Structure 1
Amino acid sequence: MTKYFQNKYALSKQGAKDLCKGILYSVLAYVSLMLPVALLACVLDSFLIALSWDSGQGGNILLYTVIGIVILAVIFVMHYLQYTLTYMGTYQESERRRISIAEKLRTMPLRFFHERDLSDLTSTIMGDCAGFEHAFSHTVPQFWGSILSTAIVCIVLLIYDWRMGLALLGVAPVAFAIVLFSRKLQTKQGQKHIDAKLALADGIQECLETVQDIKACNQETVYLKKLDEKMDAAEKAQISSEMVTASLVTTGQMFLQLGLATVIVVGNTLMINHQTTLFSYILFLIAASRLYAPLSGAMANMAELFSVDLQVKRLKEIQDYKEENKKKEYQTDGYDITFDHVSFAYEPGKPVLRDVSFTAKQGQVTALVGPSGGGKSTVANLAAGFYDVNGGKITLGGTDIAPIDSVAMMRDFSVVFQNVVLFNNTIMENIRIGRKDATDEEVIAAAKAARCHTFIEKLPDGYQTVIGENGSTLSGGECQRLSIARALLKDAPVILLDEATASLDVDNETEIQEAISKLVKGKTVLVIAHRMRTVENADKIVVLDGGVVAESGTHDELMKKNGLYARLVELQTASADWKLNGR
């Protein structure tokens, strides 16, 4: 049973055990609610016997009172245990689930994040996990508890009188079939609701991320109208899903209530024919009044379980995603990066790189230049092992990086991406991410090397200034320099700079280049840049165009070839001389 729940709902072993305990105590709690029925039946039987004997005695009232108090105590204890185990187990499992998903995402290859939309992942981690909490605290244990407890009571009633038992339970299979056979329809409507919510979440996230551009283009009205349409679509999808579910469940519950009429008809018939006793008749009437309530709840819970299956499926897609089983330890002969006839595509049939070959040697600066979309950033991502190549191979110090774990390989890489990511923490801690055991003095030294020290000293709390989410209180150039300081602090043998100076002015760019030049000795530096002046002094320049190496060499060699590189330099020189003409 434990293994079944573990596989079906993607639970941890402890979570499956807690669920089984919750179901067990739900069964006991529901069964305990039938104890007053049994007591009432005993009291009625006692009084009926007393009346039939024309006796003045009405049974042992004191005894029944004591039994009633004991039953109330049992009901209280069973419900307390059921509530405590169910809710505590659910929220502890929810904690384990969120941590496990976070740990799983931490080890995911970048290809996974390329395949999944950010709003989709956010909705899964936040919304689906919240739905999971509600389902496993309010639905799953109660559903199984009501089904199993009802089954136990039904067996007892059928043994007592199978004719009245069939009259009581005959409608239940039909009522549940109405809900069960409509599962496909409910799942379809539920999926439409999820898709509409994802579209809305994506629209809200896009609006928040691009609000500055929307306002700058005076498109608030147009954009908000589109967002309102997505909200309306999500609302309609939810109403439609709820209406379908409510209609089917209500129909099943209404049909279930026919059982009471069946009990009355069958009971009267048996009474007239002297085939049952008044006590049995009353007992089944009381049972009918108590038994159909948990069955009605079970039908509602069954409908919600269909929705839970959709949420569990989305969570399983993350948990069951194939992990990279690669080597954590490796050795290299130096740190030359060699691309050997490498081809790569993010999506099948859409190649980004085709037969790319070059070597970035240790102790030298290798620059990647070329038109936008040529594959420069892709080359950097492949060099760091973030993606697996589709053809050819990449070696680090003569060792093929394909079987090496990308997280383990990051020990030898310092990376500065084009899009800087900073955290809502102090400047000191943001730089220290490069090397967690670095001293304050080492952090400050890296900041000075990246030309950050001057502007940091002007901040209210210096290095202890909290910079806001993603460095919201800093300029783009200041954020870029902090990310460079972080990379310099790590002091890894391989440095990847993806448009690292894109947000810097000319003066700061020159200073950063001087700082980087001090680190080149004995290290492999791979630089991606659009500004040709940035890479003039590089030891080797690789020109990428359309996913292939168009040409390579030093600045002087490429200028003499008068090819694509020379044209790019000429275009940038011309743009630098461009100026507005007055009228």
Structure 2
Amino acid sequence: MQGKISLLYLLGFTIAASKIMDGVNGLYLNMAEIMYIDARMKRIQELRKLRKQSGKKMELSSYEIEFQGVSFSYQKDYKVIDTLSFVAKQNEVTAFVGPSGCGKTTVLRLISRLYDYDNGKILIGGKEIANIDIDCFFENISIVFQEVLLFNTSVMENIRMGKKSATDEEVIQAAKLANCHEFISNLPEGYQSMIGENGSKLSGGERQRISIARAILKDAPIILLDEISASLDVENEMKIQESLKYLLKNKTVIIISHRMKSIEKADKIVVMHQGKVESIGRHEELLKISPIYRNMLEKSNMTENFRY
């Protein structure tokens, strides 16, 4: 042991060490990839365990929506919807209001069959939705949520998702009714412009109006709207309200909104509290009978009248 090492041994050790480190690094990279794949496989297995939604093709004689004692839980020990009953009549606007967490959005999710209810019945035209063929069911419903789902393709094709057989002229007409023809025309390639993943190249108001154009083009008899103007500025909200006049005409409409002004003229307003109906009526009636509605209206007015 002289505390020395030859150049040959040093070079050999360095090369061997680098090879070992390459192997270790490769192992770490492979482990990360394996963990990623394992997580995805678990999600796929969970999806395969879900009960397949089925049903029969049916002709609906009307598009009235009725909840009969419906209950639903995301978790077994807590009912988000508790024996809920109401009727949303055809060709009328039924609005849902209530404190956050009262179950308003869950009502729309149950109607649109994103979840299956635990107890009770949900009927459309007198037929339970669980018995209706899923494709037939979705032909009759248009959904416009606050979080708009768009695809990384052209504006034209994103709107045409509402009706695959639509001509270019029909798409453009729907865009005009939805107040989005002007901004689309100003895009670099107009209706052929690519809008990015989930419409990343567009503003929130523009994405929302394209979603409404898609629903106008589909022309389904049932319309579900969930907080579609919650995060928009005044200008975009006004344009969307204008476009909704065409979308909602002669339809069965269910709408959720925190902006009380937008639902005051609804044919029926359902006030919810802790998954149940607190009161049902028109705006003028609820001012007299519902303390929750009055409280929400007062808070809404205070927010709108606030000045810095």
Q: TM-score range by the shorter chain?
A: 0.7 to 0.9
For the residues of structure 2 that align with 1:312 and 1:450, how far apart are their CA atoms? 39
The gaps in structure 2 that reach 5 residues or longer are: 1-26
1:563 equivalent to 2:301? Answer no
Structure 1 residue 436: Cα displacement: 0.8
- SS at structure 2 position matched to 1:424: coil
Q: Match of 2:120, as an amino acid?
A: G
The alpha-carbon distance between structure 1 residues 320 and 509, as it changes in their structure 2 partners (threshold 3 A), is closer
Tell me which residue corresponds to 1:438.
166
The alpha-carbon distance between structure 1 residues 404 and 551, as it changes in their structure 2 partners (threshold 3 A), is same
For the residues of structure 2 that align with 1:313 and 1:422, how far apart are their CA atoms? 26
Residues 355-414 of structure 1: CA deviation (Å, up to 9, x unaligned): 111111110011111111111111001111221111111000110112224343111001
The alpha-carbon distance between structure 1 residues 311 and 420, as it changes in their structure 2 partners (threshold 3 A), is closer
Q: CA RMSD in A?
A: 2.7
1:454 equivalent to 2:182? Answer yes
Tell me which residue corresponds to 1:505.
233
1:545 equivalent to 2:267? Answer no
1:420 equivalent to 2:148? Answer yes
More helix by share: 1
Q: Please, what TM-score do these two structures have when normalized by structure 2?
A: 0.83
Tell me which residue corresponds to 1:392.
120
Tell me which residue corresponds to 1:339.
67
- Equivalence map 1:508-519=2 (5 Å): 508-519=236-247
For the residues of structure 2 that align with 1:315 and 1:567, how far apart are their CA atoms? 43
For the residues of structure 2 that align with 1:339 and 1:328, how far apart are their CA atoms? 20
1:491 equivalent to 2:219? Answer yes
- Equivalence map 1:329-408=2 (5 Å): 329-408=57-136
Structure 1 residue 330: Cα displacement: 1.5
Percent identity, please.
49
Structure 1 residue 565: Cα displacement: 1.0
Aligned residues: 280
Tell me which residue corresponds to 1:578.
306
Structure 1 residue 323: Cα displacement: 4.2
The gaps in structure 1 that reach 5 residues or longer are: 1-233, 243-306
Tell me which residue corresponds to 1:533.
261
For the residues of structure 1 that align with 2:102 and 2:155, how far apart are their CA atoms? 35
Contact 2:279 2:290 in 1 (8 A): no
Structure 1 residue 517: Cα displacement: 2.8
Structure 1 residue 236: Cα displacement: 11
Tell me which residue corresponds to 1:187.
none
1:327 equivalent to 2:55? Answer yes
Q: Match of 1:329, as an amino acid?
A: K
Contact 1:542 1:553 in 2 (8 A): yes
- SS at structure 2 position matched to 1:543: strand
- SS at structure 1 position matched to 2:83: strand
Q: Match of 1:421, as an amino acid?
A: L
- SS at structure 2 position matched to 1:402: helix
Residues 36-73 of structure 1: CA deviation (Å, up to 9, x unaligned): xxxxxxxxxxxxxxxxxxxxxxxxxxxxxxxxxxxxxx
For the residues of structure 2 that align with 1:330 and 1:481, how far apart are their CA atoms? 32
Larger radius of gyration: 1
- Equivalence map 1:119-518=2 (5 Å): 235=28, 238=31, 314=42, 317=45, 320-324=48-52, 326-518=54-246
For the residues of structure 1 that align with 2:28 and 2:281, how far apart are their CA atoms? 59
For the residues of structure 2 that align with 1:313 and 1:560, how far apart are their CA atoms? 55
The structure showing larger relative contact order (alpha-carbon pairs under 8 Å, at least 6 residues apart) is 2
For the residues of structure 1 that align with 2:39 and 2:243, how far apart are their CA atoms? 50
Bigger mean CA deviation after superposition, 447-456 or 519-528: 519-528
Structure 1 residue 235: Cα displacement: 4.7
Residues 301-360 of structure 1: CA deviation (Å, up to 9, x unaligned): xxxxxx9xx799748725742542522402322000001111101121121111111111
Contact 1:335 1:397 in 2 (8 A): yes
Q: Please, what TM-score do these two structures have when normalized by structure 1?
A: 0.45
The alpha-carbon distance between structure 1 residues 558 and 319, as it changes in their structure 2 partners (threshold 3 A), is closer
For the residues of structure 2 that align with 1:456 and 1:521, how far apart are their CA atoms? 24
Residues 490-549 of structure 1: CA deviation (Å, up to 9, x unaligned): 100101111122233334323433332334343201111110011111111111122111
